[in-house]
Amino acid sequence: MKTKQCSAEVFASFGQAAEINCSSKPEFQRSRQLICSSFLVQKSPGIEMPKFQNSSKPGSGPHYVWEYEYYDDDEPVSFDNLTAHRYSVVIGFWVGLALFVIFMFFVLTLLTKTGPPHQENQDAFDRHCRPSSCMVDFRHPQASDNKACSQPLLDESHSLIHCFIHEEETGRTGEGQGQWREAKQCACSGLQQAQAKCKVERDTSFPTHCNIPNFVNSEYSSALGDDDLLLCDQPVPLDSNSLSSNNYHRTM
């Protein structure tokens, strides 16, 4: 079996000695740089650089066209003593790749299915719980369903907004969780009825909003048929101040 061939073509002109070099006249082929590199030739042992002298008489005779293919005289690449199948590297590579991808998929699905919520978030959950608070639904303050909750809310909206701002500044639980914080607040509400309403309102309104640039949707939005992990809608330009003022306007 030959090493990768590098053909050289020499046009012998009258009375000139020419030296054949593999890289002097390479041939244009598909991505030839990546198939035939002179690096390859330098590494191969036993390759001779043939020289020849043009013996034609000066002033007469046709052009000679010589074509040489480079081969290893010692033939180090031999296909005779193969112990395994000749495509074993190819097969091994693809099998390994497939196993890796499948393994990654199973690890990700296992991560989805198992494990209770973490303890530190349980504490944070409790910390936000205030029995008298009722942060129902910041998105639809005009909805008639919210009437039960909106009255006490008006009084507390200021303090709650300050709480929001404080939360953002401390940023303890991570800044990507503004909407999740609202969920916690809703769930911690002392009013059972309002709590149930909170939940329902939150569920239905959640997928329609993306005021925090968030392309990783929860189970709910996936169940509702939105795009999942790779949804990339234009985030509404908000910084922390406008977010709190936005929430503030929604409650009014």
Q: Which of residues 122-151 bind another protein (CB under 8 A)?
A: none
**Residues 229-248, interacting with another protein (CB under 8 A):** 229-235, 237-240, 243
Q: Are 4 and 27 in contact (CB under 8 A)?
A: no
Question: Which amino acid appears at position 172 of this protein?
Answer: R
Burial of 105-124, coded b for 16+ CB within 10 Å and e otherwise, reads: eeeeeeeeeeeeeeeeeeeb
Q: In this chain, which of 15, 43, 129, 208 binds another protein, going by CB under 8 A?
A: 43
Minimum CB separation of residue 183 from another protein in Å reads: 6
CA-to-CA dists, residue 87 to 20, 44, 91, 237, angstroms: 34, 22, 6, 55
Nearest to another protein of 232, 252 (CB atom): 232
Q: In this chain, which of 57, 84, 119, 144 binds another protein, going by CB under 8 A?
A: 84
Q: Distance (Å, rounded) from C-alpha 84 to C-alpha 61?
A: 54
CA-to-CA dists, residue 48 to 25, 61, 64, 74, angstroms: 17, 28, 21, 11
Q: In this chain, which of 37, 140, 141, 205 binds another protein, going by CB under 8 A?
A: 37
Q: In this chain, which of 13, 32, 61, 151 binds another protein, going by CB under 8 A?
A: 32
The Cβ of residue 178 has, within 10 Å, a number of other Cβ atoms equal to 19
**Residues 1-30, interacting with another protein (CB under 8 A):** 1-5, 9, 25-30
Nearest to another protein of 146, 167 (CB atom): 167
Q: In this chain, which of 73, 79, 119, 252 binds another protein, going by CB under 8 A?
A: 79
**Residues 45-74, interacting with another protein (CB under 8 A):** 55, 64-67, 69, 71
**Who contacts 64 (Cβ-Cβ below 8 Å, separation ≥6)?**
10, 11, 12, 54, 56
**Residues 94-113, interacting with another protein (CB under 8 A):** 97, 100-101, 104-105, 108-109, 111-113
Nearest to another protein of 31, 144 (CB atom): 31
Q: Are 32 and 26 in contact (CB under 8 A)?
A: yes
Binding residue count for another protein, defined by CB under 8 A = 98
Nearest to another protein of 191, 231 (CB atom): 231
Q: Distance (Å, rounded) from C-alpha 65 to C-alpha 147?
A: 96
**Residues 184-223, interacting with another protein (CB under 8 A):** 187, 195-196, 199-200, 203, 212-216, 218-220, 222-223
Minimum CB separation of residue 118 from another protein in Å reads: 8
Nearest Cα residue to 164 out of 142, 152, 180: 180
**Residues 146-185, interacting with another protein (CB under 8 A):** 168, 174-178, 180, 183
Under the binding rule (CB under 8 A), the answer on residue 120 touching another protein is no
DSSP code, position 135: -
